[in-house]
Amino acid sequence: MKVFKFGGASVKDAEGVKNVLKVLEKHHNPDKLIVISAMGKTTNALEVIILKYLGGSSPEEEIKNLKLFHFNIINVLFENKQAAVFEKVNQFFTNLSNFLQHNKSLQYDFVYDQIIGFGELISTTIVSEFLSLSGIRNDWVDAREFIKTDSTYRDAQVDWESTQKKIVAEINPETITITQGFIGSDTNNFTTSLGREGSDYTAGIFAYCLNAESVTIWKDVPGVLNADPREFTETTLLNQISYEEAIELAFYGASVIHPKTLQPLQRKEIPLYVKSFYHPENEGTKVCRGNGCAVVPQMPCFIVKKNQAIISLSSLDFSFMVEENISEVFQLFHQYQMKVDLIQNSAISFSVCVDNKFNQLEKLIQHLKAKFRVNYQTGVSLYTIRHFDEKAINSVEKGKKVLLKQLTHNTVQMVTDC
């Protein structure tokens, strides 16, 4: 069995859905599991709905617009206006409205996960029904019935034993299966999510449990590039990289592959391909194991993470920042769900660059001020260059103020003011 994953950009409109059909027709063997993300910017739209709802405002207009967006796509794909897809998608929007009316919790992470998965449920329903209409038989399944997790909403941890049992017992490896990325469920059957952009990880989970032949992620780029084309004017396709290198790039923030995706694939040596859904005939990038899978071509790889925060701490009495202080600080980072991307310390100070993705920075700062002198700056950028040279460093530093810089054998990281 092969696992395919199509991201939101690949199904952002009716033409994108038709292109999924074309890709599958070029790879017509039926033993596939297909993971699909929410359409286009649906996840962003649902996040706005969540914020308005928890802020006490009615998100009715946003829901109406989101429904219109999906039904515009359906109307292009389905001439028969009595097709089952119309009622199925309408039911999901009814379920969304019912949740908003009857929910009692105001806990952001819980509410987020109960709402955010509607994007994937709707997109997979549309694609599944369109493939059936086009003569490609498939089974639509709800990923929440298979991927079981703990109750860490917005960043759930997979219960691998329960997940594998369900997938092996119930997924038919001899047919095309359509399922959702990004979502699972906990022991109480509440929806959980695997982290933003977690659909790649879903593909890795199913591939691991099914002993898949390979995983292919279909993107709007030709493969893994040495830099994000949205941030850098000149980019080069990497024909192949190792699991280890891909994990490093993902850890530092490369958005083309979710950081957790490669871990289950590496354990079973399942190759990963990243290809363009615009040009499915092209080779793309192969991610594989071992010394024979070095970075090709060898060149600097650039990663940038915007909207980070840099925090500098020192003790109130100017005593040394030692293990006891640092362990206490990291306990607070864990408590406030801060991802630490860069660390640097001296005798009396300790600086970190963090990702405030759960919006708890202000609470953390207030807690830290009780025991430390605290300086911090938001809106900074973290640049990482793998396999750097002086030319690469100079290209990043030009026109920027470098707030923090750290070099190791293969990697340089810089926090800049923009």
pLDDT for the residue numbered 22: 94
281-340 pLDDT, tens digit per residue, is: 999 999 988 666 777 889 999 999 999 999 999 988 878 888 888 899 999 999 999 999
**End-to-end Cα separation, the chain, in angstroms:** 45
User: Superfamily for 301-416?
Assistant: VC0802-like (3.30.2130.10)
pLDDT tens-digit readout, 162-181? 999 999 999 998 899 999 99
pLDDT score for 255: 74
The predicted structure's pLDDT at residue 290: 67
pLDDT digits (tens, 9 = 90+) for 356-370: 988 999 999 999 999
269: left (phi over 0), alpha (psi -120 to 50) or beta: left
Which parts of 218-358 fold into alpha helices (H)?
Answer: 243-252, 262-267, 323-335
| Mean pLDDT on 103-108 | 95
User: 3-state class of 229 per DSSP?
Assistant: coil
Give the per-residue pLDDT at 57: 94
- Span 188-241, pLDDT tens digits: 999 999 987 789 999 999 999 999 999 999 998 899 999 998 899 889 999 999
Which residue do the tokens 């429904």 mark?
Answer: 67
The ranges assigned to domains in the chain are: 2-220, 301-416
Residue whose tokens read 């639509």: 140
Strands (E), 7-52: 32-36
Burial (Cβ within 10 Å: 0-12, 13-18, ≥19) of residue 173: middle
Amino acid at 163: T
Partners of residue 241 on adjacent β-strands: 287
Q: Which residue has the tokens 């970190």?
A: 352
The CA–CA distances, whole Å, from 356 to 172, 260, 305, 309, 416 equal 41, 19, 11, 7, 16
pLDDT in tens, 24-53: 998 877 899 999 999 999 999 999 999 999
Pairing of strands 183-185, 191-193: antiparallel
Instruction: Give which of 115, 96, 101 is closest to 50, Cα–Cα.
Output: 115
Task: Name the residue among 121, 113, 6 with its Cα closest to residue 50.
Answer: 113
pLDDT band at 244 (very low <50, low <70, confident <90, very high): confident
Question: Is CATH 3.40.1160.10 the classification given to domain 2-220?
Answer: yes
Of 95-109, 125-139, 289-303, 384-398, the poorest mean pLDDT is in: 289-303
The reported pTM is 0.85
Task: Say how far apart CA 67 and CA 354 lie, in whole Å.
Answer: 36
Of 126-130, 245-249, 408-412, give the lowest mean pLDDT range: 245-249
